[in-house]
Every structure is written in structure tokens, then in C-alpha cells.
Amino acid sequence: TENTLATPVGITLERYIMRKQSEFAYATGELSQLLRDIALAGKIVNREVNRAGLSRITGAMGEKNVQGENQQKLDVEANIRFVRALTNGGEACAVLSEEDEDIIQTGNVNGKYVVAIDPLDGSSNIDVNVSIGTIFGIYRRVSRIGGPARKEDFLQGGRAQIAAGYVLYGSSTMLVYTTGHGVAGFTYENSLGEFFLSHPDIKIPRQGPVFSCNEGNWFDYPEFVRTFLTTCKERRLTARYVGSLVADYHRNLFTGGIYLYPPTVDKPGGKLRLLYECFPLAFLIEQAGGVAVTGADLVLDVHPTSDLHQRAPLFVGSADLVEELRCKATK
């Protein structure tokens, strides 16, 4: 886990990355550069999100993305910003984005990494000034350096991620990430334009008071989910659901709790995307001492199919709550 003595609260993300680089030798600094690139794009998107209501850039563009959903201008904007930052940074040879059907080759053929990203998740919340987020997972490529990236680079499975995290554009903007040595959270200081370490070594409580799901889907949930939710209510747990995955996940990470996006009658495979939503958040929750399952199985044990935009059910959060749900799924 992170050595909190060596990483005092208040140091900048830049300094933190430099320290960690020398401690863990995530060696040549390339991964560090990637994290900087993501932080830079996060700052730019934060600026756009903040002034969204002012600059008349909210609202649907009248186009649909690969999932058939209406694209928002901010979705497009965020996608452009992240892809550009990762392209200019030079370390990522390719990006898989929620907004694009195919892999985006950055042209950095010597880059050793690929990044799977949901540039702006929770798009239905954009126009109503509710928290939204960016989610990312990073892999070392398995294709030949010097050539184009291949699908296989993104289909290595969640355990192959070398870093993952999210940016939450909320009442304050935070970057939370892991490189497999615990989880650290940084809060953005607007006037200085810097992320500062505010939450070193984040751990999710084993138990928690919150359950988060779209209860409007109750009649479409499988029996084991309804049984579990009934026990949550019998114990008087608190219901909290923003409808932005990053926001719901982030709250539960601190308070303890469980987030559920079960299979439904309409979406038997779940709604959330495996490669750029479930895998990164599963890696991060395990690093924080929590658990993520698709039902009976750990999310990180799922073998991806060849579909880059595949979906999976997601139950994630405090270890005791998720294990209780998992037991019911196994019966």
C-alpha cells in the first residue's frame, strides 16, 4: 500500500507521481507520463463541464454513438480532449473509447501502452448540472512495438491492467487512481490549476450503510437481486442513486456500500461496459479492499469476448455486502 509518511497530504499530483516512480520503478517514467496526460485532459474537461451551462454547449448533437445513445456535445468534447492528450503525450499507441466503434490508433507506434476510456460517463446528467465522470484502464500492449495496436491489446482481461482510475467532476473535481499499490485521491484546486493529494491510501469500509441501484427496474431484476435488496431494506440501509456511475461509486468508496447494475429483462448482459467501466472500477475497488462481481464471478476473472464494447452486470463495493450478494447469486 501507499507509504503515507512519504506522501504527505497536500503535495501536487506531479510530485506524487515523481516520488512513486522512484519508489516502485514503474520504471522509465512512461506510465507516469500517461497519468499526467490523463490529468491534463481531466483539467480541460473540468473547465468545459464547469462552464457548460454558460457556453451553450449542452444539449444533444442529434447524433448517436456506437451504443445507439444520443451524443451530447460534452461527450464529444471530452472524447476529443482525452484522445488528443494521449496522442500528444506519446506513450499510448491506441485508445478504445466509448464514443468510437473502432480502436483509435494514435500514430505513436512506439508507445508501449493502450488506454480504454469512457471520456464522459453519465451523459444524461450533463444537462442538469449533476456530477459526471471519466473512467480509464491502462494496459501494456501485447502487439509488436513499431506497428499498429491490435484488438488483443484491449482484450487481455482486467487483471492485466497496470493502472486504472477515474475523474469525478462533482462539487469538487477529483482524480482517483491505482497502479496496483493502493489507491490515492487528488482534489483539483481551480485557481492554481493543480491536483493535490487529498486522500492517500483510500480503503473502503468492509460494511456500509448504502445501496445504490435504479429501483425503477425492480420488476426486471433477477430473483437473487430482489432478495438481496429486500434484506438491505429490512436492515434499514440507505438508498442513494445519482445515476452517474462514477459519482455513486465514489460516494460508496468513502461511506461504504454497494452499487448494483444487475442484468435486467431488457439488458440480460447488464448495461455497463466491461472494458472501460467494469474492469477499471473493479481493479480500483480491489486495491481499496473491496470486491466487484458480475454475480457469482469476480469481475476481474471475466474473459472478454472479441466485442470491444461488451457489457457486464456489476455489483461493486464493500467486501461484506458484495460477498453477501454473491452468495445469493451462487445459490
Q: Which is nearer to ligand AFP, 86 or 245 (CB)?
A: 245
We find the least distance from the C-beta atom of residue 245 to ligand AFP, in angstroms, to be 3
**Dist CA 258 CA 233 (whole Å):** 13
Q: Are 136 and 79 in contact (CB under 8 A)?
A: no
Interface with ligand AFP (CB under 6 A), residue from 122, 257, 263, 290? 122
Residue 310 binds ligand AFP (CB under 6 A): no
Specify the residue, 21 or 212, whose C-beta has the smaller distance to ligand AFP. Answer: 212
Contact between 264 and 220 under an 8 Å Cβ cutoff? The reply is yes
- Contact flags string 6-45 toward ligand AFP, x per CB under 6 A: ----------------------------------------
Told to check if 70 binds ligand AFP by CB under 6 A, we report no
Residue 79 C-alpha cell reads as 472524447
DSSP 256-273: -EEEEE---SS-TT-SSB
Least separation, in Å, of the C-beta of 271 and ligand AFP?
6
Q: Are 175 and 163 in contact (CB under 8 A)?
A: no
- What cell was used for 217? 427496474
244 is a site residue for ligand AFP (CB under 6 A): yes
**What is the distance between the alpha carbons of residues 211 and 227, in angstroms, rounded to a whole number?**
13
Nearest by Cα to 229 from 214, 243, 242 = 214
Please identify which residue in 73, 271, 311, 326 interacts with ligand AFP, judged by CB under 6 A.
271
Q: Does 245 bind ligand AFP (CB under 6 A)?
A: yes
Q: Does 97 bind ligand AFP (CB under 6 A)?
A: no
Alpha carbon distances (Å) from 137 to 28, 93, 115, 162, 203: 19, 14, 6, 8, 20
Among 90, 148, 243, 289, binds ligand AFP (CB under 6 A): 243
Return the residue of 58, 143, 156, 214 that touches ligand AFP, per CB under 6 A. Answer: 214
Distance CA 154, CA 97 (A): 11
Q: Compare residues 42 and 111 and give the one whose CB is closer to ligand AFP.
A: 42
Interface residues with ligand AFP (CB under 6 A) are 69, 121-124, 214, 243-245, 248, 271-272
